[in-house]
Structure 1
Amino acid sequence: MWKNHLIIAYRNLRKNKVFSIINIAGLAIAMAAGLLILKYVTFELSYDDFRKPSVYRVVDYAYRMDIHWWVLLLPLLLVFLVAFFTVTLQTVKTALENPVKSLRSE
């Protein structure tokens, strides 16, 4: 089974060279970025693993402001609504369009 998958992958690489290079480069960049983010997060979470327990990270600031939950929820809802209405309008526009016109332009 794996042999067949490898043969199909090799044939697709030879058939679609440019798209394959773009896909592989995108995968490599995404994996490198993911590893860098993972290393950064593990470094930040291990700030007190190698120090004495008497050393603490400064967490409280002098000019700290309390943020209400709805301030963070409002932009999220706004983005969701814009995306929802955009997809809905494009779907309705495509559904009402004559299919012959779209086939002629392809």
Structure 2
Amino acid sequence: MPTHKLPPWLQPKVNPPAVNFGVVWYTEAEWAKVKETSVDPERFEASYSEWIQMAEQGLQQLQAMGIVPSKVQVVAQDFFAWCLVKGKQNSAESRSEYVLELGAKRSNASDT
């Protein structure tokens, strides 16, 4: 008896693996330090409480899209040292790059 393969649209759907995503996270004190020294303070919310509200909404939106957000705590002094070593300013681009790097290190550490 010949075996027939189902066409792709009739094959059972496999759930795609969850996508992990590092998201910047600050304590109130660290947020204030990073904002105070940034070259783009206008990119920050007016207050930490506004930032928290925006960040929590962002986490919920990511989760709704099937993305597993992972809070990456930023310590201002560590970030400033990273900027110095990399020759970068405290900018939105640098903050994003720093969080991506931290998240990748954390992910690699958990894989071993």
Per the normalisation by structure 1, the TM-score is 0.22
Structure with larger Rg: 1
* Structure with greater strand share of residues: 2
Which structure is richer in relative contact order (CA contacts within 8 A, separation 6 or more)? 2
